[in-house]
Structure 1
């Protein structure tokens, strides 16, 4: 599952992403509906909204979106409670994305490893590491 920062790197044609994209078939590339919501927010606040919207359409044609379903909501509730109990909460949208990846049994491709490594059981891959 692709985190928002990885999707932005794809949009920006960051060369560090290419080897990872080549290792995965297009059918394996997915983002959470939460990630799509974050990307749409980026479009809405963009200085060039038409260009940003066009770029997002291209990305959407290549990356499927997984709906945030009931199982994801269950994982979210459990995960948020656990992280708060441990005193290691992460951002609210990151908690939703992590729970979604866990509910689907998918690794999360992100550069935000510091935050997501706090999530027990979540496989984290840094696609933007130098």
Structure 2
């Protein structure tokens, strides 16, 4: 069965910064098996914004563009993503365990897209009910 793997901002930054062999191998294996590798429009926005910061080098935008060009898609933020994100916000608020707004949106987008969220920030995302996670780092 073909899967969709959605990379979160943390793992994208880690891949671009560190070029970790184990994570790159997992990516390669996923591609060879015909799985889709995507990011949320929210992650793309975070990466683009990060490339404009005072510590960002002029090469940073080129790195982000080259990274995104190799993806199968940057998934657009749509009504299903908004609805799933709203459900997560309500559930986490009621549980008293909220996470950051962008992480909530990325989690909602992954659920709406039926994607496995790949992250090295499992502690934060593990609070989200119904979210399928994989940590390719640890």
Question: Could you say which TM-score interval applies, normalised by the shorter chain?
Answer: over 0.9
Query: Deviations 1:59-111 (Å, cap 9, x if unpaired)?
Result: 11111200010111111111101110111111111000000000011110000
Partner residue, 1:56: 64
Q: CA deviation at 1:6?
A: 1.2
Separation in 2, partners of 1:99, 1:48? 29
RMSD, aligned CA: 1.4
Separation in 2, partners of 1:70, 1:78? 12
- Structure 1: gaps (5+ residues): none
Separation in 1, partners of 2:133, 2:103? 13
Decide whether the 8 Å contact of 2:85 with 2:108 is kept in 1: yes
Greater CA drift, 21-30 or 66-75: 21-30
Q: Structure 1 residues 8, 103: CA separation in 2 closer, same or farther (over 3 Å shift)?
A: same
Provide the secondary structure at the position in 2 that maps to 1:65. strand
Alignment coverage as a number of residue pairs:
129
TM-score by length of 2: 0.88
Decide whether the 8 Å contact of 1:46 with 1:52 is kept in 2: no
TM-score by length of 1: 0.93
Partner residue, 1:14: 20
After the TM superposition, which residues 63-102 of structure 1 pair with which residues of structure 2 at under 5 Å, given as runs?
A: 63=71, 64-102=73-111
- Structure 2: gaps (5+ residues): 1-5
Higher strand share: 2
Partner residue, 1:38: 46
Higher helix share: 1
